[in-house]
Structure 1
Amino acid sequence: MSQPVPPSWKDVGKSASDLLLKDYPIQGTSLEVKTITPSNVTFKVAGNKDDKSGTISGDIEGKYVDFNNGVTFTQAWTTSNLLRTQLELENQIAKGLKLDLATTLNPAKAAKSAILTAIYKQPSLHTRATVDLFKGPTFTADAVVGRDGFLVGAEGSYDVLSGAITRYAGAIGFSAPEYSITLHGLGNMSTFAASYYHRVSKDVDAGAKAVYDIKSTTGGVSLEVGTKMYLDNAAFVKAKINNSGVLCVGYTQALRPGVKAVFGLGLDTTRLNDPTAGPAAHKVGASFVFNA
């Protein structure tokens, strides 16, 4: 039986991460408007107001996709005067090979970066190699091997000038249509994270993540559990709580095709009766997305 292409290194354990991290806009208010032309050019304008600092940030982005030749070109300009350019070539040199060049430039500060990435995907194998051309230069590589649902992955970074491995990590897991389990060893094996995701039914998802940091001065394991429940085809609600007593609730509603509203609430349950608890303890936010 032919094996599927496993997820990339950054997507190992993605189901649990998305369940616990996405659709909780509790840091402020954001707006995203996206339009697409008949010639496959996508324009996106996004803005965000951070409630803690009060700052407003945004960016405007244009993306052109040539599906026939596997070429994608993206250009963005942010309110912090940062210019981002990305060029992607897929299946041009070899089948399953994707080349990605991402650059950033801040003209005011003369700061720049350029990251070249090569991604190669085949049944049972997903690899990536990245070179940060201006920093180090630093070479980073990762690979994930999968067979019959079992996943094994590793990542490492090498500083060319110092001739030393600066970072390494590993992961093992098992993925099935209804559930997945993942164990990560991160930060040079100083932090260990275990996560699971379970599709309980067609309307209910559940998941949890436990993190143990060897270098932590407080000791113990950080634990977070969450669930997602579909109310109908256009709405769902999410809730999660961690062992510090922080409870988050998110509600997502598709108002019409291409229009989505997300509302989030974060409560520190240990300070519900504290009259001095302010925005730092309890947070509320919203996100609006328009796709035309």
Structure 2
Amino acid sequence: MSLPQPVPPSWKDLGKSSNDLLGKDFAINGTALEVKTATPSNVSFRVSGSQDPKSAAINGDIEAKFSDKPHGLVFTQAWTTSNVLRTQIEAENHLAKGLKFDLATSLLPDSGKKTAVFTSTYKQPGLHTRAFLDIFKGPTFTADTVIGRDGFLLGAEASYNVTEGKVSRYAAAVGFSAPEYAVTLHGLGNLSTFAASYYHRVSPDVEAGAKAIYDTKATTQGISLEVGTKAYLDTAAFVKAKINNAGILALGYTQALRPGVKASFGIALDTQRLNEANPTGPAHKVGASFVFEG
């Protein structure tokens, strides 16, 4: 007899363990700062900013979120330095348990450009399905579903352009997830691009992962490969390293300075161009990120 089935990850979270290992905590794109605060009345604020290392331009946004947990409601409003207004309304467990509705909109007052995406999500043991309606683009209807049983995962995604009356995009994925490791195979871009990812918690202090991508439409045939690892130095610090087959080596160090304060530092080196005089030139990147949460 199989064990009770947990809720599987959503389509976008298939392969998340490997993606997080290879993509997060590498502060190599300039300097970034994020401040998070919360009030006793269930209102939280987030202010973030980053400086582009090439143009030195600073981009940022301020976000306020109100959560009414007893009624399953969340309202979020954000304003960016690009003068974009973002609004999101979430309602969960109203019509049925495991059912969530989400409306995300954006508005550029200068140009009048706007977007609106309505999302419905339904989660039950062994099933995670979502449906999106992009109101102003197409309109386009997108749906994805992931089913899981005994660790095995099977997912699919498809987009339908209502105006043109045809399927504009489809994809599929299979995978297996266990507490210590996970493997996932994606067929993306109308099954023209294939991605395989692997994650392994080697020990409580060491994680390892890899990702390979093969694009059948690429002009340069070959597989893009990236491998990485994460090691905890203690309960407050860890280091990460990754390298790809193009010779780009990235290193990251994250330190929790105190509860709610975290600093991350990173560097990326093109190992085929180490002789360049300028270590921060186009072949190499350095950066730092600071997060304050209270």
TM-score class normalised by the smaller sequence:
over 0.9
Q: Is 1:46 paired with 2:48? A: yes
TM-score for both structures, normalised by structure 2: 0.98
Instruction: Give 1:118's aligned amino acid.
Output: S
Using the TM superposition, give the Cα deviation of residue 93 of structure 1 relative to its aligned residue in structure 2, in angstroms.
1.0
Q: Is 1:218 paired with 2:223? A: no
Aligned residue for 2:195?
A: 193
Instruction: Give 2:25's aligned amino acid.
Output: D
- Find the aligned partners of 2:208 and 2:153 in 1 and give their Cα distance: 21
Using the TM superposition, give the Cα deviation of residue 276 of structure 1 relative to its aligned residue in structure 2, in angstroms.
6.8
What SS class does the counterpart of residue 204 from structure 2 fall into? coil
Asked if 1 retains the 8 angstrom alpha-carbon contact of 2:42 and 2:66, the reply is: yes
Q: Of residues 47, 63, 66 in structure 2, which corresponds to 1:64?
A: 66
Asked if 1 retains the 8 angstrom alpha-carbon contact of 2:33 and 2:50, the reply is: yes
- Find the aligned partners of 1:244 and 1:173 in 2 and give their Cα distance: 27
Aligned residue for 2:119?
A: 117
Q: Of residues 238, 262, 265 in structure 1, which corresponds to 2:267?
A: 265
What does the per-residue CA deviation read over 1:113-142, in whole Å, with 9 as the maximum and x for residues that have no partner? Answer: 100000000000000000000110000000
Aligned residue for 1:233?
A: 235
Aligned residue for 1:288?
A: 290
* Equivalences for residues 131-280 of structure 1 within 5 A: 131-275=133-277, 279-280=281-282
More displaced stretch, 235-244 vs 273-282: 273-282
Instruction: Give 2:226's aligned amino acid.
Output: E
- Find the aligned partners of 1:277 and 1:218 in 2 and give their Cα distance: 29
Using the TM superposition, give the Cα deviation of residue 280 of structure 1 relative to its aligned residue in structure 2, in angstroms.
1.5
Using the TM superposition, give the Cα deviation of residue 278 of structure 1 relative to its aligned residue in structure 2, in angstroms.
5.1
- Find the aligned partners of 1:53 and 1:238 in 2 and give their Cα distance: 27
Instruction: Give 2:209's aligned amino acid.
Output: G
What SS class does the counterpart of residue 12 from structure 2 fall into? helix
Question: Number of residues paired by the alignment?
Answer: 292
Using the TM superposition, give the Cα deviation of residue 25 of structure 1 relative to its aligned residue in structure 2, in angstroms.
1.3
Asked if 2 retains the 8 angstrom alpha-carbon contact of 1:27 and 1:52, the reply is: no
Aligned residue for 2:128?
A: 126
Asked if 2 retains the 8 angstrom alpha-carbon contact of 1:52 and 1:279, the reply is: no
Segments of 5+ residues of structure 1 without an aligned counterpart are none
TM-score for both structures, normalised by structure 1: 0.99
Using the TM superposition, give the Cα deviation of residue 53 of structure 1 relative to its aligned residue in structure 2, in angstroms.
2.5
Using the TM superposition, give the Cα deviation of residue 52 of structure 1 relative to its aligned residue in structure 2, in angstroms.
2.1
- Find the aligned partners of 1:129 and 1:165 in 2 and give their Cα distance: 15
- Find the aligned partners of 1:84 and 1:164 in 2 and give their Cα distance: 30
Matched-pair identity in %: 69
Segments of 5+ residues of structure 2 without an aligned counterpart are none
Structure 1 stretches of 4+ with a deviation exceeding 4 A read none
